Amino acid sequence: MPFRSHDNKKREGGFPIVLTASAIEMSDFNLDPFVAFVGGFPLGIFPKTLLRKTVYPPVRLHQDQTVRFAPYGLRKVEALLAEKFGPENIATVHPLQLDRFVGPQTKAVGISTMDPLGLGFVSRTYTNILGLRGKPANLIEFEALLSMRPLRRHHPRILVGGAGAWQLMGSNLMTRFGIDAIISGHVEPSVVEVFKKAVNGEKLDQVVETKAPEMGEIPTIRNPSIYGTVEITRGCGRRCQFCSPTMGDAYSFPLELILEEAKINAHNGSRMIILQTDDLFLYMSGPAFIPNKKTILKLIREIAAIKGVEFIQIAHMSLPPLVYDPEILKEIGPILAEKSMWRYGNGGPCASVEIGIETGSTRLVRRYMKGKSLPYDPEQWQDIVVQATGIMNDAGINPLATLILGLPGETEEDVMETLRLLDKLKSAKIFYVPLLFTSEKGTALEGFNPMDLGGLTDLHWEILSTCWRQNLEKWEPAFFPFARIADGLPPRTRLRAFLSIYAVAKKIGKEMGRFRRSLRLLS
């Protein structure tokens, strides 16, 4: 269904409603979703113009300069607003194009953001560990967006939503950025009402807290999303206390809606489809998180069959369903490996997906994430992790696993348990991303002190360096001998050495890729 014509007409006076995101969030990072986390790094020593050209180039534009691809959440908002105000009154644009779309007739500018201040788990952890100083790139670009001339000149009302909107709550921050209202939580039930008030010049609540929407309130996107993102489930229900999707029970979207959105993406030039979910196995699952093999197989096969889909990326999987029904992965593993853009160590293709190991401590699993092991007991957590990652590796899937250091009340014995688990996983093909605990707003652990560098013990440093040593050994074997040289260093210095070697390996790998592509072009 076409949104509206994208011919090159400029609208005098601007569009009544303009939707956008910061330059960093209006990029697909050269189609690499895992690079997006560099947005949390302080890149201020490099000129913004250079970063916008190389690290996070803008998404492609239509002839009329609106964006061809936009963040998925913004596309949902766009669809809802189009229904109410008419598509001809809405423009979704890159921030560098705001001057073409914002004018005296513009009443409201909606901004979507994931991590405006660089306070997410990944950005906070690695900025601290690498001892990087200065503003995170996410913040630099968010400030740049809010200080764009058309916004200051025409004073439309500024409404902010998205997964990172919680970071901006508080009247000081809102005043500093000139934000009129923050929509916190799922946007669907309230976004139309908030925009209606903004357009009519009515008083706005500073923070609009929303509830989880009914399925019928969630629209189908009308235009393609960055990375071809398509939501297949929403919510989780395992209720881990540090996590926000825990707040609502999960529901699955009907297959026909998923396929419709996937086709909108693929048929409009997206080579990749990301299946957005907190756990693939929640898709149409039974009670106690029992996976529904038949519908999962159908889903993956039908997505893979869509013309133009070169890559499929599943956002997350949980581990117990893999142990419960290993056959599922045996069937979908080959499809995911064939449709994967990742290469493992020696260059062979592999699929990857994010999993949450979080800890090896039964005590912490029982205390903070009791639902994570269901339908099994927390006491079985280490066995579940070892078995499930083995099943993944056998199916050609080498996961990216998060670990959380510094959960409230964590003891030395808990950390030792995690080290023991890492030892059991020595031969597994896993990319580890150990993270410092962050207490996010809206979670059950909101208000607890986040872990910072000063709180890390020698055992924590041991976990961090063990993880990155294994990352080098498995994913960059050519550079592993350099890791061996660093082995004798104290854990903190060793970790920094491993991270630096990894960064160099990635850089050289990228250049080699470019070189090989040029040779192919010449031959």
- Contact residues for ligand SF4, defined by CB under 6 A: 236, 238-240, 243, 245-246, 278, 318, 356, 369, 372
Q: Of 318 and 471, which CB lies nearer to ligand SF4 in the complex structure?
A: 318
Least distance in Å: CB of 315 to ligand SF4?
10
In eight-state DSSP terms, residue 60 is: P
**412 φ, ψ (degrees, to nearest 5):** -60, -35
Q: Of 243 and 392, which CB lies nearer to ligand SF4 in the complex structure?
A: 243
Q: Of 3 and 121, which CB lies nearer to ligand SF4 in the complex structure?
A: 121
Helix, strand or coil for residue 349?
A: strand
Least distance in Å: CB of 236 to ligand SF4?
3
Q: Of 113 and 246, which CB lies nearer to ligand SF4 in the complex structure?
A: 246
The answer to whether the CB of 328 falls within 8 A of the CB of 294 is no
Q: Of 238 and 460, which CB lies nearer to ligand SF4 in the complex structure?
A: 238
Q: Of 335 and 374, which CB lies nearer to ligand SF4 in the complex structure?
A: 374
Q: Of 157 and 372, which CB lies nearer to ligand SF4 in the complex structure?
A: 372
Q: Of 356 and 399, which CB lies nearer to ligand SF4 in the complex structure?
A: 356
The answer to whether the CB of 467 falls within 8 A of the CB of 494 is no
**What distance in Å separates the CA atoms of residue 343 and residue 351, rounded to the nearest whole number?**
8
Nearest to 355 by CA among 327, 325, 314, 408: 314
Q: Of 244 and 465, which CB lies nearer to ligand SF4 in the complex structure?
A: 244
3-state helix, strand, coil in the chain (%, to 5): 45, 15, 40
Least distance in Å: CB of 238 to ligand SF4?
4
Q: Of 365 and 472, which CB lies nearer to ligand SF4 in the complex structure?
A: 365
Strand positions, DSSP E, 327-377: 342-344, 348-350, 354-358
Least distance in Å: CB of 364 to ligand SF4?
13
**What distance in Å separates the CA atoms of residue 250 and residue 246, rounded to the nearest whole number?**
9
Helix, strand or coil for residue 158?
A: strand
Identify the helix (H) or strand (E) that includes residue 264.
helix 255-267
Least distance in Å: CB of 244 to ligand SF4?
7
The answer to whether the CB of 229 falls within 8 A of the CB of 261 is no
The answer to whether the CB of 292 falls within 8 A of the CB of 284 is yes
Nearest to 80 by CA among 247, 198, 196: 196
Which residues, in sequence order, are CB contacts of 335 under 8 Å at separation 6+?
A: 300, 301, 304, 312
Handedness of CA 352, 355, 357, 358 (dihedral sign): positive
Least distance in Å: CB of 28 to ligand SF4?
24
Q: Of 139 and 407, which CB lies nearer to ligand SF4 in the complex structure?
A: 407
In eight-state DSSP terms, residue 315 is: -
Least distance in Å: CB of 285 to ligand SF4?
12
Least distance in Å: CB of 264 to ligand SF4?
26
Least distance in Å: CB of 278 to ligand SF4?
4
With 0-12 CB in 10 A as exposed, 13-18 as middle and 19+ as buried, what is 214? exposed
Least distance in Å: CB of 468 to ligand SF4?
22
Which residues, in sequence order, are CB contacts of 62 under 8 Å at separation 6+?
A: 6, 68
Helix, strand or coil for residue 258?
A: helix
Instruction: Compute the C-alpha angle 80/188/124, nearest 5°.
Output: 120
Least distance in Å: CB of 435 to ligand SF4?
12
